[in-house]
Amino acid sequence: MKRILVIDDDAMARSIFRSLLEEEGYGVSEAADGATGLRMFREGGWDLVVLDIFMPGLSGLDALQDMDPERSGVPVVVISGAGSATGADPLHLAMTLGASRSFSKDFEHGDFLAAVRELTAKAGVPA
């Protein structure tokens, strides 16, 4: 079974991700903040990470830099509920830091699941 780590400070968002992913046959673990998520990531064994960008404490962007998806080989899908009020596009920035895909929190479930399937299939074993 493919293992997915969901890191998001929003309990409702984590619940939605868990429901969507478990229905597809993935094993899901959750972290409610960036620091906990990064610790769990370092334990290894993940096939994919779903990472919220804006969280208190260690932000998703900081966690993403530490995860270094290109070096670790673990794809990261970043999620953001915030717009680009600061003038910077956080989803674009995350992609430049190595994220494999990015979605706003109003994503289409089918599009999100298609990206997860594609990224986890690269390891060659179905969910």
Q: Residues of 87-107 as b/e, b for ≥16 C-beta within 10 angstroms?
A: eeebbebbeebbbbbbbeeee
pTM exceeds 0.75, yes or no: yes
Asked whether residue 86 carries a pLDDT value surpassing 80, the answer given is: no
In a domain, residue 126? The reply is no
Instruction: Give domain status of residue 127, yes or no.
Output: no
- The candidate with the shortest Cα–Cα distance to 89, out of 77, 75, 104, is 104
The mean per-residue pLDDT over the stretch 75-84 comes to: 80
> Does 87 reside within a domain?
yes
Mean pLDDT of 27-49: 97
Range of the domain at 21: 3-121
pLDDT of 45 over the 90 cut: yes
Number of domains composing the chain:
1
pLDDT for residue 89: 81
CATH of the domain at 109: 3.40.50.2300
pLDDT at 85 over 80: no
How much is the average pLDDT of 64-72? 93
pLDDT at 126: 47
- The mean per-residue pLDDT over the stretch 85-93 comes to 70
